[in-house]
């Protein structure tokens, strides 16, 4: 079966392509390389022994999206990662986020109508919950006013998909609400490769450890948490990637209970920023140079998943730990800097 992965050379996309190819799917990747590198293709090929088809394409150009789907009208499923994803950047540049994350989704959904098999996995986010009233966060938690334009694009994205499902009974979708993906493939052939200054915690930690950054800034030390720093649910990217394959198989086999479903993807455990740093320090064997500074706009205090629904319905569970993720991220950082 041919599966389209948009943003398939990005961090989560590339790991998902690996898991799809390991399961025997034929993968087609489109990516505009705005936050990725074409060299990732070599890493995927080295791990799986198969080079996926790749086309450089900007989903914001509607005509190019139309041409692509005319050429590939035998796609059995789409996993949609292509989006900008940094909370802080979205606060500073909201219009870029709305154009890149909403328009592109609409263009893909419009073209999927002509496919015989309309199965869609959406890369969503726990940011749809905002600051949840209760922890851990279940799928029954209300979708609250977004704390950032990035979070809002995920909320709007889910609404667009839900509305599409209402009017098109042949269209089936699962939204996967990620918590905080980290780590790298154990082969060190692919991993997180931010362009410019990292917007996420772990690459900033590893870049500080390797000497690229002078100091890690921890945003906020006065939150009402056990050590004053924000709490997040850090999930290994390989576990996360495997969940996409399980969700896709659910749609392809017609086992979904409705044509729009959604699941939390996390470990079920919250770790503070300082605990994440300590985990890295235990792997590295040294102390990291970090400094606690003021809070950052758009950050929620605490977010970690209740995983009962995804464990029981999809039969998926995380297997890798925070230390596993830190160790793989550090090995990846060393590999790419020692090239």
User: pLDDT digits over 268-325, tens only?
Assistant: 999 999 999 999 999 999 999 999 999 988 788 999 999 999 999 999 999 999 999 9
Please state, in angstroms and rounded to a whole number, the distance separating the CA atoms of residues 102 and 14: 22
| 3-state class percentages of the chain: helix first, strand second, coil last, to nearest 5 | 40, 20, 40
Q: Are strands 231-232 and 271-272 parallel, antiparallel or unpaired?
A: antiparallel
Please state, in angstroms and rounded to a whole number, the distance separating the CA atoms of residues 73 and 250: 21
Owner of token pair 């979070």? 151
Tokens encoding 52: 């996926």
CA angle 309, 248, 44 (to 5 degrees): 115
Bridge partners (DSSP) listed for residue 26: 2
Higher pLDDT, 49 or 127: 49
- How high is the mean pLDDT of the chain? 96
Q: CB under 8 Å to 254, separation ≥6 — which residues?
A: none
Contact 231/272 with Cβ under 8 angstroms? yes
Confidence class for position 54, pLDDT limits 50, 70, 90: very high
Let me know if 53 is a catalytic residue. no
CATH superfamily, region 201-231+268-337 = UDP-galactose 4-epimerase, domain 1 (3.90.25.10)
pLDDT of residue 11: 96
Q: Do 201-231+268-337 and 2-179+235-265 fall under one CATH topology?
A: no
Cβ atoms < 10 Å from Cβ of 159? 12
pLDDT of residue 225: 97
pLDDT of residue 228: 98
CATH superfamily, region 2-179+235-265 = NAD(P)-binding Rossmann-like Domain (3.40.50.720)
pLDDT of residue 123: 98
Average pLDDT over residues 206-219: 97
Owner of token pair 């690459």? 203
Digit-coded pLDDT (tens) for 151-203? 999 999 999 999 999 999 999 999 999 999 999 999 999 999 888 888 889 99
pLDDT of residue 339: 54
Contact 218/291 with Cβ under 8 angstroms? yes
Q: Give kind and range of the element (H or E) at residue 30.
A: strand 26-31
Catalytic residue (choose from 25, 107, 129, 150): 150
Tokens encoding 309: 């629904």
3-state SS, residue 152: helix
* Model-wide pTM > 0.85: yes
CA 228 to chain CA mean position, Å = 26
**No. of helices (H) and no. of strands (E), the chain:** 12, 14
Q: What contacts 24+ positions apart, CB below 8 Å, involve 36-39?
A: 36/7, 36/9, 36/10, 36/11, 36/193, 37/9, 37/193, 38/9
Confidence class for position 143, pLDDT limits 50, 70, 90: very high
> Which of 218, 59, 81, 230 minimizes the C-alpha distance to 147?
230
pLDDT of residue 208: 98
pLDDT of residue 319: 98
Domain ranges of the chain: 2-179+235-265, 201-231+268-337
pLDDT of residue 142: 95
Owner of token pair 């977004």? 146
Q: How far is CA 6 from CA 158, 162, 197, 272, 314, in A?
A: 17, 20, 24, 32, 23
Tokens encoding 276: 């994440």
pLDDT of residue 199: 82
């Amino acid at each position: 079966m041919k599966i389209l992965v948009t943003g398939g050379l990005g961090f989560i996309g590339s790991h998902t392509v690996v898991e799809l190819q390991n399961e025997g799917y034929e993968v087609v990747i489109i990516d505009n390389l705005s936050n990725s590198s074409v060299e990732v293709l070599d890493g995927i090929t080295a791990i799986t022994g198969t080079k996926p088809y790749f086309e450089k394409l900007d989903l914001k150009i509607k005509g190019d999206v139309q041409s692509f789907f005319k050429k590939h009208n035998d796609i059995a499923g789409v996993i949609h990662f292509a989006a900008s994803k940094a909370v802080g950047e979205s606060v500073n540049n909201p219009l870029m986020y709305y154009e890149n994350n909403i328009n592109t989704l609409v263009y893909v959904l419009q073209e999927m109508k002509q496919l015989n098999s309309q199965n869609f996995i959406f890369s969503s986010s726990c940011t749809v919950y905002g600051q949840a009233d209760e922890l851990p966060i279940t799928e029954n938690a209300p979708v609250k006013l977004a704390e950032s334009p990035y979070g809002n694009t995920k909320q709007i994205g889910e609404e667009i998909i839900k509305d599409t499902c209402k009017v098109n009974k042949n269209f089936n979708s699962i939204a996967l609400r990620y918590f905080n993906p980290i780590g790298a493939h154990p082969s060190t052939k692919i991993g997180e490769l931010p362009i410019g200054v990292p917007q996420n915690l772990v690459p900033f930690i590893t870049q500080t450890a390797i000497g690229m950054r002078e100091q890690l800034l921890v945003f906020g030390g006065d939150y009402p948490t056990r050590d004053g720093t924000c709490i997040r649910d850090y999930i290994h990217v390989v576990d996360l990637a495997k969940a996409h394959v399980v969700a896709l198989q659910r749609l392809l086999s017609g086992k979904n209970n409705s044509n729009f479903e959604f699941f939390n993807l996390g470990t079920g455990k919250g770790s503070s920023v300082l605990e994440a740093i300590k985990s890295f320090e235990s792997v590295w064997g040294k102390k990291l140079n970090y400094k606690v500074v003021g809070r950052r706009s758009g950050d929620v205090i605490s977010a970690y998943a209740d995983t009962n629904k995804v464990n029981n319905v999809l039969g998926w569970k995380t297997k890798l730990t925070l230390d596993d993720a830190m160790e793989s991220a550090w090995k990846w950082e060393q590999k790419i800097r020692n090239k």
